[in-house]
């Protein structure tokens, strides 16, 4: 997969809804009902972070849910890429970007939202042929004003900002011309997941899916 093809695929994922849920799941039993609730609420693109021992099994379960597009987050190494693809992930997300990781994703035909936080990061990806990236951690790196500032000299790159984004500030990002969608964990808070309150999560998803962009 070329960087251009990868960017086209990630742009398609970002176009599915204004918010991509960023999920840290600690129990495989929660995977299917959580995915069903988020998809029913209008958020079909799901990022499962590889931060828990059961994350790959969660991806396997969520990938079986009709209407969902499941990706693997926190990809750091070629081994992560291989494991994510084998588990059924159809896109990847990383906090940063290294040539080793980009090489692995391209070889595995896994479109990647590579993390950026500076103009130099963006320029390196543009040189390689990428036109869609992640802006992370968004709030810690100046928030929407910083992303707007990067967009002025580098309008070729479009972003999915994540990190510190909530319902309160999501529209600050979504209103920017260089933002395709945002990533956020607020749509699946851990207390609701543990309680199995899938209806409440579906309502949070519905609220997020109604955000304008």
Q: Is 120 exposed, middle or buried (0-12, 13-18, 19+ CB in 10 A)?
A: exposed
Alpha carbon distance 69, 119 (integer Å) = 30
44 backbone dihedrals φ, ψ, rounded to 5°: -80, -25
Which among 147, 143, 114, 160 is positioned nearest to 20, based on CA atoms? 160
Q: How far is CA 197 from CA 8, 39, 48, 180, 200, in A?
A: 35, 15, 19, 29, 6
What is the number of residues in the chain?
213
Place of tokens 């599915």: 16
Could you list the active site residues?
47, 134
> Which neighbouring-strand residues pair with 160?
134
Alpha carbon distance 94, 134 (integer Å) = 8
Neighbours of 164 (CB within 10 A): 15
Alpha carbon distance 141, 133 (integer Å) = 15
Alpha carbon distance 41, 26 (integer Å) = 22
């Amino acid at each position: 997969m070329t960087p251009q093809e990868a960017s086209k695929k990630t742009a398609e994922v970002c176009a599915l809804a204004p918010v991509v849920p960023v999920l840290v799941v600690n129990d495989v039993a929660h995977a299917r009902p959580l995915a069903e609730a988020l998809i029913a609420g209008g958020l079909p693109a799901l990022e499962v972070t590889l931060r828990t021992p059961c994350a790959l099994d969660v991806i396997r379960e969520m990938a079986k849910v009709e209407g969902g597009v499941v990706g693997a987050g926190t990809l750091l190494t070629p081994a992560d890429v291989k494991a994510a693809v084998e588990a059924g992930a159809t896109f990847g997300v990383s906090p940063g970007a290294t040539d080793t990781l980009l090489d692995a994703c391209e070889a595995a035909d896994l479109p990647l939202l590579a993390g950026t936080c500076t103009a130099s990061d963006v320029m390196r990806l543009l040189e390689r042929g990428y036109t869609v990236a992640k802006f992370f951690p968004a709030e810690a790196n100046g928030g929407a004003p910083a992303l707007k500032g990067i967009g002025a000299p580098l309008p070729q790159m479009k972003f999915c900002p994540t990190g510190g984004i909530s319902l309160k500030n999501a529209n600050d990002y979504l209103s920017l011309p260089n933002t395709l969608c945002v990533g956020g964990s607020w749509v699946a808070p851990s207390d609701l997941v543990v309680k199995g309150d899938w209806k409440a999560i579906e309502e949070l998803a519905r609220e997020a899916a109604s955000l304008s962009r």
